[in-house]
Amino acid sequence: MMRRSFLPPWWAKNPHVQTILPVLTKVESPALSRQRLELGDGDFIDLDWLGDPHNAGSIVVIMHGLEGSSDSHYIRRLLQDCNRHGLCAVVHHHRGCSGEPNRLARSYHSGDTQDISDTLAYLKEHFPQAKLCAVGYSLGGNVLTKYLGEMQSDSTIDRAVVVSAPLQLSACAKRLEKGFSTLYQWHLIKQLRDKLTDKFNHRTIVDQASVTPKQVSTLKTFYQFDHRVTAPLHGFEGVDDYYAKASGFSYLAKIDRPTLVIHAADDPFMNADVIPSANQCSADVTYELHQQGGHVGFIDGGSPLKPRYYLEQRIIHFLTINKAVASDEAIASG
């Protein structure tokens, strides 16, 4: 399977077109089956399966972004391509993102590698014949980067791809407070506030909350939400402590599994702080920076009503090509 370089069509050069149009033109998802994993702390994780893992030579483990799910446009497209290539895949839902509220006051966050570790351990135990590949988008990409850097040679993942990951959380939070990007922040914060309100209504969070129900509506930025909600619920001293400890950037140098990291320089969720230099990545990291592409976009053809994408063919190519070839790949295009 030949890989083509990324070049956006004239009508999709704007980063917001790249970011928003995919949401408006979702493809159909192949049929999935759901499995629930019970966790040691009394909570659960839902997995959505494509194919039969019992006879699979490999399993593609997919991690969605903030408030995403197997219904997200980028997940649907990757599942469709996995299905086309006969690959078994499973979507790991972060807590509370599978359509049913999680049971505990805590939820998920950008640096939470324990839940994906539990999922991977389950897969390794029950399907030992299968090699595990992983794809992480946005927040899921940051979690995947951190997991790979933490585990290093103990990682159960054979190959990985990280897409549009906010590897420097503080810088990305500040970026979303400026210009058109504030609309993305508004949309995501509204979803997070709605979930928080739901936890208050069901008394899931009352005894552990650091805000009152009336204060929820005052949380209008990621800095405010993460300082008042995310950090205290997950054991951090505050937003700065959370952003410092949860950011995946410093873990790029520790990864020792073949890993492709894809960023767009015009990503409206990020700034140049997420772009590493060569000496900030390990030899096993292939870093691919494009001048255009938006946030989890990378439309490279088709039409506005039926866009064609670079991402899926690039991901499948990297996960399935010979390792000797993969180790020589390092491109910066745009």
Q: What is the DSSP letter of 332?
A: B
Q: How many residues are recorded in the chain?
A: 334
Question: Which residues, 6 or more positions from 102, have their beta carbon under 8 angstroms from its beta carbon?
Answer: 43, 44, 95, 96
How far is the C-alpha of 68 from the C-alpha of 48, rounded, in Å?
A: 13
How far is the C-alpha of 248 from the C-alpha of 139, rounded, in Å?
A: 10
Token pair 């040691």 is found at 40
Which residue is catalytic, options 155, 295, 300, 317?
295
Answer yes or no: 70 catalytic: no
How far is the C-alpha of 129 from the C-alpha of 55, rounded, in Å?
A: 8
Token pair of 183, please? 């609309």
Q: Could you tell me if 109 and 234 are in contact, meaning their C-beta atoms sit under 8 angstroms apart?
A: yes
| β-bridge pairing 33-38 and 44-50 | antiparallel
Answer yes or no: 69 catalytic: no
Q: b/e string for 308-324 if b means 16 or more Cβ within 10 A?
A: ebbbbbbbbbbbeeeee
Which residue is catalytic, options 81, 267, 284, 300?
267
| β-bridge pairing 306-309 and 299-303 | antiparallel
Answer yes or no: 247 catalytic: no
User: 53: left (phi > 0), else alpha (psi -120 to 50), else beta?
Assistant: alpha
Which residue is catalytic, options 58, 72, 107, 138?
138
Q: Could you tell me if 237 and 264 are in contact, meaning their C-beta atoms sit under 8 angstroms apart?
A: no
Token pair of 34, please? 């759901």
Q: Could you tell me if 259 and 161 are in contact, meaning their C-beta atoms sit under 8 angstroms apart?
A: yes
Catalytic positions are 138, 267, 295
